[in-house]
Amino acid sequence: MTSGIPPPAVRRRAPRRRRFDHTPALRTAASRGESLDQVLDRNVAELLQELRVAFTGVQILFAFLLGLAFTQRFRELGTFDLAVYTVALLSTALATMLLIAPVSFHRIVFRRRQKAALVTAADRLLILGLALLIPAISSSVLLILDVVLGRWQAILGSSLTALVGLLTWYALPIAIRRSGHGKAPHHHRERRVRHSTGQGARRSAGGESRR
């Protein structure tokens, strides 16, 4: 007697298909009156612009940390400062790799009609890269302030930096997302559809009258 439960192989394949599901893009296209390709092209352009903004700061921070190891005063750092420097350098390096990853992803899937997968993967990579920037920046602040001012001032400054990053990068947008504030109403699309339908009806009526 067979049951309605699919075999384990089928159950394992189903989540993989949903990882790069383009259903959200289809809903966005329907609400904005765009085609799926237009939505995906716009998403890719937005992601590239965000990557440019994020990568500029990462590039400056990474270059500073790499050059810091070759300065004269770097040899005077203690065990604590060297540990902080290691955390800052590794966090910045990993963030750099994650932010560059969408470029390689795009090259590999270029002209294979997989732009929905590109948008989803780039979105997740960008979120992870930004998350790594918080310990990278706060560790760099901790290192510099510990050398310049002292230990407790450095801990206070780095804690404040990390708190501001967590609040403005994650807590605030997540709270607004859950509350639904600023969400555009759906009736704008209905008005556009009615307006275009009315124009089409008037054009057809004008054509019949000329006949």
Give 134 or 38, the one with higher predicted confidence. 134
Which residues does 37 contact at the CB level (< 8 Å), separation at least 6? 115
Residue 33 carries which side chain, given as an amino acid letter?
G
> pLDDT category, 115, cuts 50, 70, 90?
confident
pLDDT at 153: 93
Q: Residue range 95-121: average pLDDT? A: 86
Angle in degrees, 0-180, between the axes of helices 23-32 and 187-210, rounded to the nearest 10: 60
Mean pLDDT, rounded, of the chain: 79
Q: How far apart are CA 127 and CA 119, in angstroms?
A: 12
Q: Residue range 106-116: average pLDDT? A: 82
Burial (CB < 10 A; 0-12, 13-18, 19+), residue 129, is buried
pLDDT at 131: 93
Residue 194 has pLDDT above 50, yes or no: no
> pLDDT category, 112, cuts 50, 70, 90?
confident
Q: How far apart are CA 146 and CA 152, in angstroms?
A: 8
Q: How far apart are CA 35 and CA 15, in angstroms?
A: 26
Residue 171 has pLDDT above 70, yes or no: yes
pLDDT at 197: 46
Give DSSP secondary structure letters for 22-64.
-HHHHHHHHHHT--HHHHHHHHHHHHHHHHHHHHHHHHHHHHH
The domain locations on the chain are: 33-180
Q: What is the DSSP-derived secondary structure letter of residue 77?
A: -
Q: Structure tokens of 118?
A: 């590109």
Residue 94 carries which side chain, given as an amino acid letter?
L
pLDDT at 24: 74
Residue 14 has pLDDT above 50, yes or no: no
Query: 121 with 106: CB under 8 angstroms?
Result: no
Helices (H), the chain: 8-18, 23-32, 36-68, 79-108, 115-148, 151-166, 172-179, 187-210
Q: Say what the pTM is.
A: 0.71
Q: How far apart are CA 187 and CA 71, in angstroms?
A: 61
pLDDT digits (tens, 9 = 90+) for 51-79: 888 888 888 999 989 888 888 888 888 88
Q: How far apart are CA 164 and CA 153, in angstroms?
A: 17
**3-state SS class at 9:** helix
> pLDDT category, 93, cuts 50, 70, 90?
very high
Give 210 or 98, the one with higher predicted confidence. 98
Lowest-confidence pick of 133-137, 138-142, 165-169, 180-184 = 180-184
Share of the chain above pLDDT 70, in %: 74
Query: 118 with 102: CB under 8 angstroms?
Result: yes
